[in-house]
Amino acid sequence: MDLFRRLAAKTSAYLLLFSLFLLAGSCDSNSVYKDHEDIEDGQWYVKNEPAFTFEITDTTQTYNVYYLVRNSIAYPYYNLYVKRFLLNDKNKIINEALNELILMDEKSGKPLGDGLGDLFDHKVLALKSYRFPRKGKYTFKIRQYMRQDPLPEILSMGVSVEKEVINPK
């Protein structure tokens, strides 16, 4: 029973931390879309492709698209390879790439990103200064591209689409 209480307390702490993360992230005025998908039991299978659908109304604007990654300190690698797909409203791939996301310092093993306890949140650029070709709905899919299936200790994946702000100099 003591184990059950510790697990319940730990789960409550994770939920509180995640709620604070969402609250802090929702204050971004340049954000057009922001969402995440929890990875069940922190075990990310290759067949599990989180998908995020959003609408673009301004095609004259450039956007930055970010990966939002949450991992635990027990994640066994310093990096994470993901393959991303941007699809239009006809489900046609209009942009795809393989990206390496650096989650920890390779030499020291020190976690990067924002952390509290043993959880770390990362915001990593996926598309810079991207101009969407048409108004409408787009879907951003992410597939883990590591050699391990399932990939442990990745707790959630998400995406943030933000208007690019160009500061005049």
- Please report the pLDDT score of residue 47 as a whole number: 96
Half-sphere exposure of 43 (CA within 13 A, CB side): 3
Residue 77 has what DSSP assignment? -
| Confidence bin at 167 (pLDDT 50/70/90) | confident
pLDDT digits (tens, 9 = 90+) for 46-78: 999 999 999 999 999 999 999 999 999 999 999
Closest CA to 78 of 29, 25, 146: 146
Is residue 41 assigned to a domain? Answer: yes
Tell me how crowded residue 71 is: count the other CB atoms within 10 A of its CB.
29
- Beta-carbon contacts of 110 under 8 Å, excluding residues fewer than 6 positions away, are 104
- Its domain, for residue 105, covers 2-163
Instruction: Output the domain CATH number for residue 17.
Output: 2.60.120.380
Count of structural domains within the chain: 1
**Structural domain includes residue 84:** yes
Residue 38 lies in a domain: yes
Q: What confidence score (pLDDT) does residue 109 get?
A: 87
pTM: 0.82
Is 168 part of a structural domain of the chain?
no
